[in-house]
Structure 1
Amino acid sequence: MTTFAVDGPSLVLEGENLEHLRRLPDGAFAMIYLDPPFNTGRAQRAVRTTTVRRQEGTGGRVGFAGRSYDTFRELLAQYDDSFPDYWEFLEPRLLEAWRLLDETGTLYLHLDYREVHYAKVMCDVIFGRDSFLNEIIWAYDYGARTRKRWPTKHETILVYVKDPSKYHFDSEEVDREPYMAPGLVTPEKAARGKLPTDVWWHTIVSPTGREKTGYPTQKPVGLVRRMVQASSRPGDWVLDFFAGSGTLGAAAVETDRRFVCIDSSAEAVDVMASRLEEHAEVHRALREDTVADAVLVGDEREAPAS
């Protein structure tokens, strides 16, 4: 059972994220970072109609009691999919993300080149095109290189805000980068560094570095910390419900934020417990074998003496 409280401790939660999300209160989070599984499996083709409520008189059609709606019929096209219904899987979770953000809040959705275009259409529908803030390119230079095409060495982070007139963004809190040509600026500027653009050059987690947890898709703390610094304030709540190794939690600890990290994988929760347990309550799922053991112990304890 989710035990979130605004004045309570940070949480690491094991279990189906949609179940946990539906127990969390509206507008509780200043920033959400999502790194969902990338699609790399069988081809799917999906056509779906999505209906979104609009302010009265502004939608494309009028429904029950005069309510105004826009209807979007989307061909989500053919895509490589590790889930049979990947987009049916992602859409309700993005709707929950919108609900859970406060009015100054920001979503960072981390995807690769296979899915980002489809996800942007979906986020435009859910958040509104006016709420699109940035497309961030995370570029790195590590790993194998194909000779059959340009080697793929980047991922994409879509940035959407809850309310384009109220969102929080503080560039002065963000870690700065070195100038590529420091001789062209003053020594003072060179020493301070420059503000990042929407292209972030940042190494991956080193396979032999101290930051490595052993989790296969771990993202570097420096990458996520930059998002947390820009789009939340000290003391704010931040959320990741595809939490993996718990990098958002680690970035939140470094920057004095409170966090909720959710993952359905027991292995991921083990990694997060080791990494974050002194900073958060860890709630594990109750598994069938655990329940069976508990029943057996209870039966033995309560059985009458022979």
Structure 2
Amino acid sequence: MTDTVWAPDGSNLVVHADNAAFLPTLPDGAFTLIYVDPPFNTGRVQRRQETRMVRNSDGEGDRFGFKGRSYDTIKGALHSYDDAFSDYWSFLEPRLLEAWRLLSDDGTLYLHLDYREVHYAKVMLDAIFGRECFLNEIIWAYDYGARARNRWPTKHDNILVYVKNPAKYHFDNDEVDREPYMAPGLVTEAKRKKGKLPTDVWWHTIVSPTGKEKTGYPTQKPEGLVRRIVSASSRPGDWCLDFFAGSGTLGAVAGKLGRRFVCVDQNAPAIEIMRTRLDGKAEFAELLPVEQVPAD
């Protein structure tokens, strides 16, 4: 195993790499918060398998992590589904296993998907983390884009929230931005001024096509959405990780809130956008061999 370019006492880091190759170089329990927004699946035949990973003390497991630590991948009943992207779950599963390993004991994973795959992801994460570690399904609702005429228009994403240890996870609702009460006349003046804590349904606009936050990255997520996640589930100085970093929203938000961050992406345009967006706020590491760097 190669040495990692990350250090717990080092600088914020943006890594141009295949996350499947980079994540095993990071140490167990290094991150308080992991937010990932992987590519959404859009439908073909695929196979899914319930999976969980446990430490193998004899060093004879089928997966290896930081410092050569050995893990067994425990697979349950195999199921087949008629969907798309035949290897989507073989692509995502090992990365979610790494996310479990990399979370600290008080850490939280936020997995951002949509209606196509979120139900299967829930089953997979139940197997990896344990059903008792499921905390929330957040619905991000927005009102933008085309409207279907032959069905209810789809105007939301799903964010699954899992904790490493349900007895120790960090969650600070005092740090979360508040919302106006829908019926302000029914609450006290003090409550009206403070606002109410958001529920598991978040009404938040997308990134405006003409707004100053826009980077040009096609799947960019709004800072306000990620700010709630970072504020609630990490503390100043904690390390946050996004290994499908895209335009670097997690890094931008974490930096503003005094958290430390690692952003990983193998897409060259994403790295260039992050160079501009996070200029002076992070170091950059190039780990892709030249022949593997995607063309612009």
Using structure 2 for the length normalisation, give the TM-score.
Answer: 0.88
* Structure 1 Cα separation of the partners of residues 292 and 52 of structure 2: 42
Query: Counterpart of 1:167 in structure 2: which amino acid?
Result: Y
Answer yes or no: is 1:88 the counterpart of 2:90.
yes
Give the aligned partner of residue 155 of structure 2: 153
Q: Report matched runs for 1:58-69 at 5 Å.
A: none
Alpha carbons 1:179, 1:194 under 8 Å: kept? yes
Q: C-alpha displacement at 1:14, in angstroms?
A: 0.5
Q: C-alpha displacement at 1:47, in angstroms?
A: 5.3
Q: Give the aligned length.
A: 276
Answer yes or no: is 1:108 the counterpart of 2:106.
no
Structure 2 residue corresponding to 1:33, chosen from 35, 39, 43: 35
Answer yes or no: is 1:72 the counterpart of 2:76.
yes
Q: C-alpha displacement at 1:53, in angstroms?
A: 4.2
Structure 1 residue corresponding to 2:180, chosen from 170, 178, 181: 178
* Structure 1 Cα separation of the partners of residues 21 and 263 of structure 2: 14
Give the aligned partner of residue 218 of structure 1: 220
* Structure 2 Cα separation of the partners of residues 285 and 70 of structure 1: 30
Q: Report matched runs for 1:108-257 at 5 Å.
A: 108-257=110-259
Q: Name the CA shift for 1:54/1:276 in 2 (closer, same or farther; >3 Å).
A: closer
Q: Name the CA shift for 1:281/1:136 in 2 (closer, same or farther; >3 Å).
A: same
What SS does the aligned partner of 1:167 have? coil
Alpha carbons 2:53, 2:97 under 8 Å: kept? no
Query: Counterpart of 2:235 in structure 1: which amino acid?
Result: R
Q: What root-mean-square deviation, in Å, do the aligned CA atoms of Structure 1 and Structure 2 show?
A: 2.2
What SS does the aligned partner of 2:79 have? strand
* Structure 1 Cα separation of the partners of residues 285 and 14 of structure 2: 6
Give the aligned partner of residue 46 of structure 1: 47
What SS does the aligned partner of 2:179 have? coil
Q: Which 10-residue stretch deviates more, 2-11 or 182-191?
A: 182-191
Alpha carbons 2:172, 2:233 under 8 Å: kept? yes
Q: Name the CA shift for 1:268/1:186 in 2 (closer, same or farther; >3 Å).
A: same
Q: C-alpha displacement at 1:209, in angstroms?
A: 0.4
Q: Name the CA shift for 1:271/1:51 in 2 (closer, same or farther; >3 Å).
A: closer
Q: C-alpha displacement at 1:206, in angstroms?
A: 0.4
Q: C-alpha displacement at 1:179, in angstroms?
A: 1.2
Q: Deviations over 1:31-60 (max 9, x none)?
A: 00010000115x1132546465499xxxxx
* Structure 2 Cα separation of the partners of residues 69 and 152 of structure 1: 36
Give the aligned partner of residue 266 of structure 2: 264
Alpha carbons 2:181, 2:196 under 8 Å: kept? yes
Q: Name the CA shift for 1:47/1:269 in 2 (closer, same or farther; >3 Å).
A: closer
Long gaps (5+) in structure 2: 57-71
* Structure 2 Cα separation of the partners of residues 7 and 288 of structure 1: 29
> 4+ residue stretches of structure 1 with deviation over 4 A?
51-55, 68-71
Alpha carbons 1:47, 1:73 under 8 Å: kept? no
Using structure 1 for the length normalisation, give the TM-score.
Answer: 0.85
Q: Name the CA shift for 1:152/1:24 in 2 (closer, same or farther; >3 Å).
A: same
